[in-house]
Structure 1
Amino acid sequence: MNDLAIYFITSLCAVYITLIVVFLFGLLRRSRQVNGRCLSVSVIVPARNEATNIDACLRALAAQTYPDDHLEIIVVDDRSSDDTAARIDKWTRRLPNLSRVSVTHQNYICPKKNALWQGIKHARGDIIFTTDADCRPGPNWITSNLAHFAPDVGMVIGHAPLLQNEKVLSGLLSLQALIVSTLAAGSAGIGFPLTCSGRNMAYRRKAFDEVKGFNDIGHIIGGDDVLLMRQFAQKSAWKIRFNADADAFVPSASHPDNLINRQVRYQSKTIHYGIPTLILAFAVYIFHVVLATLPIFFWTDAELFYLVGSCLGIKIIADAVFLLFGSIQFKSLKLLLWFPVLEILIIPYIVIICALGTLSPFKWK
């Protein structure tokens, strides 16, 4: 193996480890809380065929400790064919600050962006909160997130864990959610937010209007959360903060159905992140391609085996440290039991699913 190949592989490994270290530094930085005035809040919940989930979601929102006279809840019925609308209407008779909006036309190709926009159009709040119909926000969700809205903060994102059962797939999906939140907290902590979850985010209506809402990303399927966050980061001076407080966690059920399609959909947004992020993502992707393929095609090269094996060992240690800090931050140490399975699957997952996310079509739910 020539010196150029050695330099190339070790450079990719160095980039990966550097990113882990930088994100760990960001993870350890806590967002500063402020004692702000009582802001008006609009919670937007898009719902499509969520009759089995909407009651629990609205029960959780009804239990919020935030003053009712500063809070409105808007559930957007996105052309449901089940009893979702009827269940929402039943709740409107119990909660004066709850209303239902029905989607009647399509402003954007992405159904969820369209539903969110229909709700935001009717919203009167200074701060927009979004979550999904299968989520269960804790009672202090709104209060906790508002404490992070300093005058220069336009968006607050948070942890969205998945409820876990004893099944392997559920454990892996829960660990994936932990990885997303750890990466979100770490990248936001260094002022370069990379990801977030629409199940747990809040932003100023003023900032949303400044970046023209979903207008520039409405043609992209998916990305109602991450791509909107990237709009805030790239097109405005507003800061983005991660709220790691346990009171702000928003758990939801995992969805093992249509698993491949969902995973491809999640990864399809990467190509729209912007040049700096794409360069980093490409370096990480090539690093995993190298780990997956070089030993297969050059299995007779002992030096290469040693180098790739060393890089793989370093990567596993770095991943373990990264997730250890994340699991401590988000009180999810039990999820580390799935770490060995994750490390077996993560390289083929990145190599195959990320490629499909860029090249392959997928269906919305």
Structure 2
Amino acid sequence: MVVISIIIILVYLFLIGSFAFGFDKVKPFKLKDTPAKTTFTVIIPFRNEAKNLPSLLKSIIKLEYPKHLFEVIFVDDESDDNSVEIINKFIAKSQNNIEIIMNERTSNAPKKDAITTAVKDAKNDWIITTDADCILPKYWLDCYDEFIQEHHSKCIVAPVTYNKTNGFLNRFQLLDLLSLQGTTIGSFGIKKPFLCNGANFGYQKSAFNELNGFKGNSNIASGDDIFLLEKMVKAYPKKVHYLKNEHAIVSTKPQQSWLLLIEQRLRWASKANAYTNWFSKLTGLIVLLTNALIISLGLLSILGVFNVKIFLYLFFIKFNIDFFLIYKSATFFNQKEALQSYPLALILYPFFSVYVAFLSVFKTYKWKGRTFKR
């Protein structure tokens, strides 16, 4: 058992170490004040987002990009609050090109349907998706435009973070997201991209149509970002890039309770079995095995069945390599304050992740007032 445990930890060390190495391989992209050229359609699906829309709409007003070069399409997914009213009032006062359309449901995936509906209506060359609970940075579209002009991309993955760091729950979620973002950036650095976030995800409309959008995974409610990324990477391996620029960071809100956080993670985990990227599956398996191993060895050490010193050595290796990657990510996102909760979060996280993985095998999950099966 000792030998197997050491092998698992060493494999984990190599995996996370490769992401940390890859993180630095993705060089920061610097704005050069190049004249704007690219036309964008920003797609924002929403369902009962009245509390979040005012902040999003204010950030849209502040976008520095030329107004004639972008449009915003809000897709109403059967909202029963005053979300539509809030957006319509904003449209009446705004000089931006903004419209609301109704979602055309054709599958078990409301958000995928919403994006597909909007893409059909989109007038511009590039699609960028974000969420109604996000805040957009003012040079957001400038970053995309200059990057596209320089790299001639087909698909662009861009950074996302949480905008609250007060309290352990918020910092726990932020550390988890920083780990995911670090892994995302690192995977691009080692030429094996497999993660992205639909809150900040761009692609050519023509590429979306060529790949038949979400066809092939529309039976899975979530995954509007990951499954499309998999298609893009397979079709255009040298044209999928990561936009590593602090002015491109979209911020969103963490979950307000542990129960809501578990529901969110269940939704994320529900699509894992449908991944087609072997490296994605291998990474998920290694991470799950390592977290389960830490829990098991910790309990066995307490019971006197496993050598405590060996357990502490293995835990120390995991503690440091995880911190190494998260520190890089926290530095890029300028959120080092979250690191104060890292020791406690690292102890709690294996239990949290294994619990969510176990529940995802059996449990349905709720999303926007609807219940979905795995």
TM-score relative to the length of structure 1: 0.92
For 2:321, the aligned partner's letter is A
Deviation at 1:318, TM superposition (A): 0.8
Measured against aligned partners, the alpha-carbon deviations of 1:71-122 in whole angstroms (never above 9, x if no partner) come to 111111111101111222222222351111112x312211111111111111
Conserved in 1, the CA contact under 8 Å of 2:300 and 2:306? no
- Figure out how many residues of one structure are paired with residues of the other and give that number: 359
Corresponding position of 1:12: 8
Preserved CA contact (<8 Å) 2:43 2:130: yes
Q: 2:292 maps to what in 1?
A: 289
Equivalences for 1:1-365 in 2 at 5 Å? 5-29=1-25, 30=27, 38-93=37-92, 94-103=94-103, 105-149=104-148, 150-257=150-257, 258-274=260-276, 275-297=278-300, 299-303=303-307, 305-365=308-368
Looking at structure 2, the residues matched to 193 and 237 of structure 1 have their Cα atoms a distance apart, in angstroms, of: 9
Q: Distance in 2 between matches of 1:80 and 1:238?
A: 39
Deviation at 1:244, TM superposition (A): 2.2
Q: Return the offset for 1:317.
A: 1.0
Q: CA deviation at 1:164?
A: 1.1
- CA gap of 1:159–1:276, structure 2 versus 1, over 3 A, is closer
Structure 2: gaps spanning 5 or more residues: 369-374
Contact 2:75 2:118 in 1 (8 A): yes
* AA aligned opposite 1:55: P
Residue 346 of structure 1 aligns with an amino acid whose one-letter code is Y
| Structure 1 pair 343–237 and aligned structure 2 pair: CA distance change class (3 A) | closer
CA contact (8 A) 1:227 1:269 kept: no
Kept in 2, the 8 Å contact 1:127–1:203? The answer is: yes
User: Secondary structure, in 3 states, of the residue corresponding to 1:223?
Assistant: coil
Summarize deviations over 1:158-214 as a string: whole Å, max 9, x none: 221112152221221222222221111111222212322111111111221222111
SS at match of 1:12: helix
1:124-174 CA-to-partner distances (Å, cap 9, x unmatched) read 111111111111101100111222224552222222111215222122122
Gap change, CA 1:302 and 1:101, over 3 Å in 2: closer
Query: Aligned pair in 2 of structure 1 residues 163, 301: CA closer, same or farther (>3 Å)?
Result: same
Equivalents in 1 of 2:298, 2:180: separation in Å?
29
> Sequence identity, in percent?
25
What amino acid is the match of 2:268?
Y
CA contact (8 A) 1:31 1:241 kept: no
**Partner-residue secondary structure (3-state), 2:279:** helix
Contact 1:78/1:115 (8 A) holds in 2 = yes
Contact 1:31-1:242 within 8 A present in 2 as well? no
Give how far 1:359 is off.
3.6
1:310/1:40 CA distance change after superposition, 3 Å: same
Residue identity matched to 2:144:
N
The answer to which of 270-279 and 30-39 deviates more is 30-39
RMSD: 2.1
**Would you say the 8 A contact 1:91–1:98 is kept in 2?**
no
Measure, in 1, the Cα distance between the counterparts of 2:97 and 2:70.
Answer: 7
Greater CA drift, 140-149 or 254-263:
254-263
Gaps of 5+ in 1: none
Distance change (3 Å), C-alpha of 1:244 and 1:282: same
